Amino acid sequence: MYQEERLLKILGYLKEHHAISVMDICSLLGISRDTARRDIVKLVQQGVVIRTHGGVALPQLKKELATYQDRLIAESDRKRIIGETAAELIHDGETVILDVSTTVQCLAEHMKASELMAITHSIDIVSILSGREDLQVYVLGGYLHARDRRLYGPSVIDKLKEVRADKTFIGAAAIQSDGLYYPHEDDVSVKKEMARRSDQVIVVADFTKFTRKSVYRLDFDWIDIIVTDQSIPAEYQELFDQQNIAVIECDGGATKEEKQHGQ
């Protein structure tokens, strides 16, 4: 197969799936990793794809790769409302895993429960919780990813395997009909291990995440609750009902059920 034919097949796959890894290119085309990398270089040079961690994606995903600080500022009121509501799900004496997420950071800022054990690889959440004497903080050590304000590497997963938590709180870059999506493949691996080590997994994400796209998928099978700030699309509500995923919608700190009862 000539390179031009391979490139057209890769682009055809991307139009449907939005992203593809080097391994998937090899499987799709029956080629070596070296050949796949040469095809990726060609596509990048032509400006029709962008590189991601482990593969390529369509250019419209580029806008998602903002800095952590940019994401923290964006939709800050929504993140605060979601964080406050999600924090109420934490009870005294629990062990909680807090993922790297700007919305999870807002949750950390509003936690009122005491005698907690908080486990995280977010350097900002560590800083927030370091001033509280009524809880313990366990840091999942690794290499520093300065841009995303997190620690990463195989040691993070190794440390997670040594713990057990009542609840895990994670964010999402995008929510689509087949799962949660993130820009980094290794980040999904960490989230899966967090879910394995926890009795309950809670996603905190504002409603704009239902209109976005990202690269690497985390199945809904890992999720128990989603906390968001507005009514979700009807097709998603039906999907979550089928998956036994509870949805908490909050507005100014009031849940959907409270608003219906005028509380």
In this prediction, residue 175 carries a pLDDT of 93
In this prediction, residue 70 carries a pLDDT of 55
In this prediction, residue 60 carries a pLDDT of 56
In this prediction, residue 100 carries a pLDDT of 93
For the question of whether the overall pTM of this predicted structure is more than 0.75, the answer is no
The stretches in the chain having pLDDT less than 50 are 61-66, 68, 72, 74-75, 253-263
Q: For residues 233 and 71, what is the distance between their CA atoms, to the nearest angstrom?
A: 23
Q: Where in the chain is the domain with CATH 1.10.10.10?
A: 3-64
CATH number of 69-260: 3.40.50.1360
In this prediction, residue 3 carries a pLDDT of 84
List, as one string, the DSSP characters of 73-84: HTTHHHHHHHHH
Single out the residue of 142, 101, 155, 145 nearest to residue 125, CA to CA.
Answer: 101
Return the bridge partners of 201, or none.
168
Q: For residues 65 and 73, what is the distance between their CA atoms, to the nearest angstrom?
A: 14
Q: For residues 211 and 180, what is the distance between their CA atoms, to the nearest angstrom?
A: 12
In this prediction, residue 78 carries a pLDDT of 82
In this prediction, residue 170 carries a pLDDT of 98
CATH number of 3-64: 1.10.10.10
Q: Where in the chain is the domain with CATH 3.40.50.1360?
A: 69-260
Other C-beta atoms closer than 10 Å to the C-beta of 236 total 18
Return the bridge partners of 174, or none.
181
